[in-house]
Amino acid sequence: MTEILTVTLNPALDLATSTPGVVPNRKLRCGPETAEPGGGGVNVARAITQLGGKARALVALGGPTGDALDSLLRDRGLEVLRIDAPGETRHSFAVTDEATGAQYRFVLTGPTWSADQLDHMLDQIDAQAAPDAYVVLSGSMPPGAKPGFIPQVCAHLGARRVVVDTSGAHLEVQATGPKPAPHVLRMDSHEAQALSGLPLDSRDESAGFAETLRQRGAGETVIIARGADGSVMAAPNGQWHVTAANEGVVSAIGAGDSFVGGFVMGLADGLPPQESLRQGAAAASAAVLSEGTQLGLPKDYDRLLPMTKLTRL
């Protein structure tokens, strides 16, 4: 298996709880809380590890919250490469309204990085990643990293295969095709609609836009998630669709990161992109069956993988 290194520069200690109803201007009594390590790259590494794969997690941590998150990661069997963050690790929390089932997610801001700190961090990634590694850059970019940071990472890491799943201004810049391109660029349907200015109602439309981004140089392979309708992919070997195997949604937290974990795990095992796409779909479908931020269980993943259907578009 080729090495997988996930990078999380703005991790969070994720708290999840529930309350009978979410209403304004009242003190809301909550049920028991769970605490899980969070952040895009952290969740990708957790998903891979939970599903029986192997990934190293490079995580920027700071202060007592960072210490608590570090302990949780190691308790879950992750190989953690800890680097110093420029400030205290953030919290995020999710509250489920028991009356409606609606989930409210609150994400706090992390510490701000200077240009020198970002350069030093890239040197640390360079020192840790094998020459042929998959390097997963997932989640929000840290405050202080300007749009255009992703191609900077790709240039610094050279031949490593960078997998990117981000949002906001960083995704907008990446969609313009700055060089060098990451190995894989993934986004959800809402992000793709905003970038294209189109509704992208059908699979073919989503796949066509993914191919437009690929031809533009946004990524060597581009994946667009379509929620309950699965995901489409534009790759050098064609356009593909994979169904989701959802049996209902308990919690959507970590589903996208689980997809990335399953997909990259397939690539690292030597599977072609389309078969790796099925692994990503099964991992995401397993994740939504788990409460809070617990991600997918191996038994669910193994059961759901044969239920995914791959189609060449």
Mean pLDDT throughout 117-124?
Answer: 96
Helices (H), 1-81: 40-50, 63-75
pLDDT value at 290 more than 70 = no
Catalytic sites, residue numbers: 257
Rounded CA-CA distance 277/264 in Å is 9
Using a pLDDT cut of 90, give the percent of the chain over it.
Answer: 83
Q: Given this model, what pLDDT does residue 245 score?
A: 76
Rounded CA-CA distance 192/218 in Å is 12
Nearest to 56 by CA among 163, 162, 129: 129
Nearest to 55 by CA among 45, 63, 65: 45
What are the pLDDT digits (tens) for 194-247?
999 999 999 999 999 999 999 999 999 999 999 889 999 999 999 999 998 776
Quick check: 133 and 58 in contact, CB under 8 A? Answer: no
Q: Which residues, 6+ apart, have CB-to-CB distance to 198 below 8 Å? A: 205, 209
The CATH number that applies at residue 10 is 3.40.1190.20
The single-letter code of the amino acid at 235 is A
pLDDT value at 174 more than 60 = yes
Mean pLDDT throughout 57-64?
Answer: 96
pLDDT value at 251 more than 60 = no
Q: Which residues, 6+ apart, have CB-to-CB distance to 26 below 8 Å? A: none
Residue 275, burial from CB neighbour count under 10 angstroms (0-12, 13-18, 19+) = middle
Rounded CA-CA distance 152/147 in Å is 10
Q: Which residue has the higher pLDDT, 252 or 295?
A: 295
Question: What does residue 113 show for φ and ψ, rounded to 5 degrees?
Answer: -100, 145
Which residue is it, tokens 């953690």?
80
Q: Which two tokens stand for residue 242?
A: 């994979």
Which residue is it, tokens 């349907």?
189
CA distances from 140 to 136, 145, 150, 274 (A): 12, 10, 11, 26
Is the backbone peptide bond immediately before 180 cis, with ω within 30 degrees of 0?
yes
Structural domain including 308 reads 4-312
Q: Which of 87-91, 97-101, 139-143, 161-165 shows the lowest mean pLDDT across its residues?
A: 139-143
Beta bridge partners of 16: 34, 94
**Tally of structural domains, the chain:** 1
Rounded CA-CA distance 123/148 in Å is 18
pLDDT band at 252 (very low <50, low <70, confident <90, very high): low
CA within 13 Å, CB half, 227: 10
